[in-house]
Structure 1
């Protein structure tokens, strides 16, 4: 695999075709060059001359007559919407197609496991996007074993080169994303590890804000790294809804839905490692409040959604109405666990906390134990801390309280 800075180096298959075109003698160097340049990749004008002289790609075989004829017959083999080459820009095309498929699947009617499908497909999309970016910058994203003279490419059982997985892409110093974007992907990767190969209850409502952020982050990144013309806005229209949920209906849906305890523990543990600012970052979890609105102006009467700047007076007033809270002291699950362990209940952990609140339906708003704050993060009130402490006192031996029989 040949990788060049800014994608300017011809791949082996292209060098084979250039040699065949030179051998046929119907084109000059500039005409041949035109067949291999495109918006996402420019090739230095000296490249064809170097191949002609044998100073570039000397060890690469010439393409056959049939291969050249097939190339010329299908050229330019491009995506008509973006101008991307189906061969040369394969990674970028696959990245876009995978994310489109992920969103279409999630928005499709009648699917019960759409979150799981979205996460798996979106992770594939991000992996291809990172590979396309690394390739364009001349960064080798293949796995190696050993070092120095002993350094060797890792291969699959069938002999193909092994490329970085998503985790390795994000850990690279060349990764084009950071902050909330990276936190969002790390969260979804951890969630995927929890749910893969397992039967789960529907988790759409619990993580939908993260999925929305994932899609928006992908669109932002592909435009920032490759160009505005590769955004997915035109491919993914606004989804229409058949129903309007009242507050009572919404609470009922949330109350009757259930999550596996391992997923609850994973989500709470992940949130517990983050600051409130990190949790509220829209690149980590993106939320939009939809408010039915009657309009007086004919020009806006047909608009289903009106976008309001976050720092406007309208947004401030809307925020006060939608998210008004009484100022009670709030605690994260990780804080509560730390408090109990400092009090001697060393075996009380996040999983035990999850089991307890689930058994008591403690996240039911009518119980008054806590609240879901802006950003979708659940926080507990002092009433829940007291409840947990009472539970630990009644089960001191179970949680290893000092001085008790474990």
Structure 2
């Protein structure tokens, strides 16, 4: 039989402290997709370059490149070499002799006011002209439905402007659908590619339009919907602040995204000839001007969905206060 131990037990050795948990790895930053800027050649340009190479008058790639470089787009001479060596664009047919002669005879075909290429920068030229037309129309004496005409034309201007931006950034702005597992470009009834309307442009995650300006455009799109589908009484005075903001926002965007030289002030004063009203006066005008109920409902419903900060943003509604 074992004698029970009667001495002192050795002191217990404390367990080593548990290692501190490793810090959780920092969440990976989402990668910004690298977009190919839209400095590639268009099909009509590739066809002309092929004709120039076949002609033999332009043996130097740099000489050919000079015909297709413009302020809004630069093209690497490698693009010409790829056509010359037939490593790319083999499916594009060469332009005819007549098409080449017509191109050379009219080159440089540029807009005298801006220096933009009439063919290559067509979208940007159309955007400017549409907004200039909207301002001229609104400021013309004797017109009754000036606001409606301004809204419709301004929407066209903004659509062209954003199409020009997407094109430059290499973003495909055509409507597509999935067919048999493949992405297919949607077509218009006439067979042309169907491009994004303004509302779709504003939804793109890289759209360059600032929040207040986008709110302004979405408001005008809501109003245009009512104009298109139901008759309206005169709304000039009640939406004047939004129309002025729309014009100023366009001018700011075209200058910030494409260059100050394309601003509208080179062509005309961008101030619209509005009568200026305080917010309280505009509220009374809505009641007294005979606006249809559906227009008042649509306007008020849109603004109620905005925060006070959004409503106060001058890019949403440009307000001038008179000091007496």
Both proteins in one fold, TM over 0.5? yes
The structure-2 alpha-carbon separation of the partners of 1:147 and 1:170, relative to structure 1 and needing over 3 Å to count, comes to farther
Q: Is the 8 A contact 2:244 2:272 kept in 1?
A: no
Larger Rg: 2
Aligned pairs for 1:224-303 (under 5 A) are 224-237=256-269, 254=285, 256-290=288-322
User: Equivalents in 2 of 1:145, 1:244: separation in Å?
Assistant: 47
Q: 1:198 aligns with which of 221, 226, 230?
A: 230
The corresponding residue for 1:7 is 38
Q: 2:96 aligns with which of 64, 67, 81?
A: 64
Q: How high is the TM-score relative to the length of structure 1?
A: 0.66
Q: Is the 8 A contact 1:213 1:283 kept in 2?
A: yes
Per-residue CA deviation, residues 193-244 of structure 1 (Å, 9 max, x unaligned), is 1111432111000001000000000111111111111111111226697x99
The structure-2 alpha-carbon separation of the partners of 1:182 and 1:147, relative to structure 1 and needing over 3 Å to count, comes to farther
The structure-2 alpha-carbon separation of the partners of 1:55 and 1:99, relative to structure 1 and needing over 3 Å to count, comes to same
The corresponding residue for 1:221 is 253
User: Equivalents in 2 of 1:258, 1:190: separation in Å?
Assistant: 19
Q: Is the 8 A contact 1:92 1:128 kept in 2?
A: yes
Aligned pairs for 1:2-401 (under 5 A) are 5-27=36-58, 28-146=60-178, 149-237=181-269, 254=285, 256-290=288-322, 318=323
The structure-2 alpha-carbon separation of the partners of 1:156 and 1:185, relative to structure 1 and needing over 3 Å to count, comes to same
| Structure 1 position 191, deviation (Å) | 0.5
Question: What is the aligned-residue RMSD (CA, Å)?
Answer: 2.3
Secondary structure, counterpart of 1:151 in structure 2: strand
> Unaligned stretches of 5+ in structure 2?
1-34
The structure-2 alpha-carbon separation of the partners of 1:77 and 1:157, relative to structure 1 and needing over 3 Å to count, comes to same
| Structure 1 position 179, deviation (Å) | 1.4
Q: Is the 8 A contact 1:7 1:42 kept in 2?
A: no
Q: How many residues align?
A: 285
| Structure 1 position 49, deviation (Å) | 1.1
User: Equivalents in 1 of 2:36, 2:118: separation in Å?
Assistant: 20
| Structure 1 position 8, deviation (Å) | 1.2
User: Equivalents in 2 of 1:264, 1:238: separation in Å?
Assistant: 27
User: Equivalents in 2 of 1:192, 1:179: separation in Å?
Assistant: 20
The structure-2 alpha-carbon separation of the partners of 1:192 and 1:58, relative to structure 1 and needing over 3 Å to count, comes to same
Secondary structure, counterpart of 2:265 in structure 1: coil
Per-residue CA deviation, residues 148-193 of structure 1 (Å, 9 max, x unaligned), is 8332111112211101111111111121113111100000000111
Query: Which protein has greater RCO, CA pairs closer than 8 Å, 6+ apart?
Result: 2
Secondary structure, counterpart of 1:5 in structure 2: coil
Q: How high is the TM-score relative to the length of structure 2?
A: 0.83
Secondary structure, counterpart of 1:233 in structure 2: helix
Per-residue CA deviation, residues 71-110 of structure 1 (Å, 9 max, x unaligned), is 0111111011111101000111111111110111011100
| Structure 1 position 29, deviation (Å) | 1.0
The corresponding residue for 1:364 is none
Q: Is the 8 A contact 1:107 1:239 kept in 2?
A: no
